[in-house]
Amino acid sequence: MTQHQTKIAKFALTTPLYYVNDVPHIGSAYTTMIADVIARFKRLQGSSVLLITGTDEHGQKIERTAEAKGLEPQEHCDRIVESFESLWQKLNIQYDRFSRTTAKNHGAIVKEFFQRVWEQGDIYLAQQQGWYCVPCEEFKEKRELLEDGCCPLHPNKKAEWRDEENYFFRLSNYQEKLETLYQEHPEFIEPESRRNEVISFVSGGLQDFSISRVNVAWGFPVPGDDNHTIYVWFDALLGYITALLEPDQEAGLENALSQWWPINLHLIGKDILRFHAVYWPAMLMSAKLPLPKQIFSHGFLTKDGQKMSKSLGNTVNPFDLVERYGSDAVRYYFLKEIDCGRDGDFNETRFVNVLNADLANDLGNLLNRTLGMIKKYCQGVIPPLIIEELALEHSLKSIGLELGDRVTQAYETLRFNQACEEILTLIRASNKFIDEQAPWRLFKQGQQKEVESILAAVLESVRLSAYLLSPIIPNLSNKVYQQLGLSVDFNEGDRLQETAPFAQHSQWGKLKVNQTLTEAQPIFARLDLPQEASA
């Protein structure tokens, strides 16, 4: 096979389709930033990527929210969707599809899918009795509710009693098949703690769940029975399939599934794990469709160690944050400071300290002072790096040569905090290297070759760090590359394979730079604590 015939790897991933009861919160921003970082890393590696995000717009919760505002549901949804699009733009999210469950082509997909499941004999009519949490859009067992009848996720909204005829999906038919799936494909649910949670839930026995409602007008009618609308979760999960249609393609399952199915990764929060890891694969099995490759659940964010809630008034507003600190800073904090599969905390003082320490000091100052020395000691020309001349135990070479592979592994397993730590090891070692080697002294002693070797090794380390951090802080990486005289735009997605091929740029010492520098500029200005946080 020639290089041109080599198959380009494809990777499709999703965020949840967010409810539009309100403008986006930091939880939705968090998942979306993670998804964008994965998508960018895959593009950097040369994969063809489809990043899907979008909104979940039907159901009782949205219907009631619109009514309370005196708006038609569609009007309300359209307004909120704008705020999602605007936040994704501010956070520099490069999504390929924005899937709205009220989009024209979605109804046809839902109908066709429902019919497939119906023909399979997996849908039947029966009486549904139980406690329904509207904000969760989910029936709850009595034992799952707090003493006052609220669900723990929504302590201000009492679950409502329902006793009505619904269509049910025969989830119970799929218990064994799901158990086999989890066993044969342990990677299907990550991280392991979540997999265990699901396995234990399924082994307790699966009950059929209702997939229609009789008193909710805002949804798709059940095919053949207009008295019912389709349950919002059944409708929403299928939004992942609708998203795969090309904008001008005729809506139908076959078309939608032809290019990008099965999806490689569904990124979600832990509260919606059951829907994705149990209901969704069972629905797909019933429709005789291949399953997604992986469901990855991240943890929950707290603020200053406390659960965030509107009633406590301690939510973190993602719009304010990005306005105040810029997109790279926000992205960096959430990716570096939180172990992705676990709960994590937002604290503004820590936010400012981490950004100042890592990006302003360790990375920014390193670049700035090294470029200053290039100007002073090397007539402003970056000297060539001759790695064969460096000893194997050279402190930057030894870390640098392994870094690309280590960081790749960390990104591929969604350990972004580890990817950052690995890169910081090289950055910190570079600062130490300069301090110890003291090129200013060597220059005075006339040891020009040594000076050049030290500065070249440090700049190569900064370059590599910027390259490997580019999925997280693309704008900052652009600035670093620019100052090194390399014209690469890390926001250019699909073109990166040409402008900065992974095999070359992700490795220490493989790139030949011989560049006359322009004036060095600080790449990241130190952040100040806001008044209230520093008080």
Q: Which residues are documented as binding site for Zn(2+)?
A: 133, 136, 151, 154
Chain positions 20 to 79 lying near ligand MSP, rule: CB under 6 A, are 27-28, 30-31, 56
What residue ranges in 191-278 does DSSP mark as E strands?
209-210, 212-213, 221-222, 225-230, 265-269
Residues in the interface with ligand MSP (CB under 6 A) total: 19
Pick the piece of the chain touching ligand MSP (CB under 6 A) from 72-80, 263-271, 287-295, 353-361: 263-271
CB of 207 to ligand MSP, least distance (A): 21
CB of 79 to ligand MSP, least distance (A): 16
Contact status: 219 vs ligand MSP (CB under 6 A): no
What is the token pair recorded at 326? Answer: 């810029």
Whether residue 262 has a cis bond before it, omega within 30° of 0: yes
Amino acid at 518: T
Q: What is the DSSP string of 34-96?
A: HHHHHHHHHHHTT-EEEEEEEEE--SHHHHHHHHHTT--HHHHHHHHHHHHHHHHHHTT---S
What is the token pair recorded at 410? Answer: 């960390």
**Residues at the annotated binding site?**
133, 136, 151, 154
- CB-nearer residue toward ligand MSP: 13 or 462: 13
Pick the piece of the chain touching ligand MSP (CB under 6 A) from 13-21, 197-205, 366-374, 483-491: 13-21
CB of 351 to ligand MSP, least distance (A): 16
3-state secondary structure 405-468: HHHHHHHHCCCHHHHHHHHHHHHHHHHHHHHHHCHHHHHHCCCHHHHHHHHHHHHHHHHHHHHH
- CB-nearer residue toward ligand MSP: 308 or 410: 308
Contact status: 475 vs ligand MSP (CB under 6 A): no
Contact status: 211 vs ligand MSP (CB under 6 A): no
Contact status: 333 vs ligand MSP (CB under 6 A): no
Taking the mean position of all CA atoms in its chain, how far away is CA 66? 29
Residue nearest to ligand MSP (CB): 269
Pick the piece of the chain touching ligand MSP (CB under 6 A) from 87-95, 190-198, 235-243, 397-405: 235-243
CB of 277 to ligand MSP, least distance (A): 12
CB of 512 to ligand MSP, least distance (A): 44
Candidate residues 13, 33, 66, 237; the one interacting with ligand MSP per rule CB under 6 A? 237
- CB-nearer residue toward ligand MSP: 220 or 502: 220
What is the token pair recorded at 396? Answer: 């930057």
Residues 369 and 434 sit within 8 Å (Cβ to Cβ): yes
Instruction: Name, in order, each residue with C-beta under 8 angstroms of 99's C-beta and a sequence gap of 6 or more.
Output: 17, 52, 53, 54, 55, 106, 239, 240, 242, 243
Contact status: 471 vs ligand MSP (CB under 6 A): no
Residues 212 and 223 sit within 8 Å (Cβ to Cβ): no
Pick the piece of the chain touching ligand MSP (CB under 6 A) from 207-215, 245-253, 265-273, 462-470: 265-273
- Structural element, H or E, at residue 480: helix 474-483
Amino acid at 261: W
Contact status: 16 vs ligand MSP (CB under 6 A): yes
Q: Is 442 left (phi over 0), alpha (psi -120 to 50) or beta?
A: alpha
Candidate residues 253, 308, 352, 458; the one interacting with ligand MSP per rule CB under 6 A? 308
Angle ∠(412,487,43) on CA atoms, nearest 5: 25
CB of 22 to ligand MSP, least distance (A): 9
CB of 179 to ligand MSP, least distance (A): 23
CB of 283 to ligand MSP, least distance (A): 11
Contact status: 98 vs ligand MSP (CB under 6 A): no
What is the token pair recorded at 434? Answer: 């300069």
Chain positions 268 to 287 lying near ligand MSP, rule: CB under 6 A, are 268-269, 271-272
Chain positions 288 to 307 lying near ligand MSP, rule: CB under 6 A, are 300-301
CB of 300 to ligand MSP, least distance (A): 4
CB of 81 to ligand MSP, least distance (A): 13
Instruction: Name, in order, each residue with C-beta under 8 angstroms of 126's C-beta and a sequence gap of 6 or more.
Output: 165, 166, 168, 208
As a whole number of angstroms, the distance between CA 81 and CA 218 comes to 17
Instruction: Name, in order, each residue with C-beta under 8 angstroms of 304's C-beta and a sequence gap of 6 or more.
Output: 314, 345, 346, 347
Q: Is 92 left (phi over 0), alpha (psi -120 to 50) or beta?
A: left
Contact status: 236 vs ligand MSP (CB under 6 A): yes
Where does this chain bind ligand MSP (CB under 6 A)? 16-19, 27-28, 30-31, 56, 236-237, 239, 268-269, 271-272, 300-301, 308
